Chains A and B, each alone.
Chain A
Amino acid sequence: DVVLTQTPSTLSATIGQSVSISCRSSQSLLDSAGNTYLYWYLQRPGQSPQLLIYLVSNLGSGVPNRFSGSGSGTDFTLKISGVEAEDLGVYYCMQATHAPYTFGAGTKLELK
């Protein structure tokens, strides 16, 4: 199975600070058709995960544009430009290029 390694595991930030989370894959996530099925989700405390970014860099419906995704191949990044209080929780990357779909272990974003 594809292993997704997220770093850091915990991230402390102040409100307004910009932060980045890395997701590295054990295999390239580029498929033969030229698509890269890499997604980002946020799970707030006590809630279900919600989609933030799909196909590496596309913003999910209703997601604020302070969130952005980038990367290719095996290295991907989620950036939050100006953390807000509602952004606190655990962030997960997921790949759907290779079966079975797999998730990273998560990055917990907390207030400093």
Chain B
Amino acid sequence: QVQLQQSGAELAKPGSSVKISCKASGYTFTSYYISWIKQTTGQGLEYIGYINTGSGGTNYNEKFKGKATLTVDKSSSTAFMQLSSLTPDDSAVYYCARRGTLDYWGQGVMVTVSS
């Protein structure tokens, strides 16, 4: 069965970076894009962007350019998202999901930015 297993919760200081992972199983990893979504109580769900898991090509929501960097390791069927120059506004739950359809979702990673 299709599964997207994300890494654990992160507590980070303002100005630092975090890198969260999304390990896929149950399907051919390179056949489907991986999308990333941010969820906060205030802003709801926001689409960050996606990565072509075959070519490594990326497409970002303008709002997240410079904030999020998407990469992939095909050998381990894992997608990554690095969030840089963290501020309290980056505190959120971050999900990975398969394709633009978002037909399968990871369990989410809570990122807390606090000094």
- Chain A residues proximal to chain B, CB less than 8 Å: 37, 39, 41, 48-51, 54, 60-61, 92, 94, 96, 99-103, 105-106
Contacts and interface: CB of A to CB of B under 8 A. Distances in A.
Contacts of A105: 44
B95 A48 contact: yes
Given A41-B102, A48-B95, A96-B100, A103 B107 contact: no
A41 B62 CA distance: 24
Contact of A103 (B44, B59, B101): B44
Nearest to A55: B101
Contacts, number: 48
Given A48-B107, A48-B108, A92-B45, A39 B101 contact: yes
Nearest to B100: A96
Contact of A54 (B35, B44, B95, B103): B103
B46 A103 contact: yes
B103 A60 contact: yes
B27 interface: no
B32 interface: no
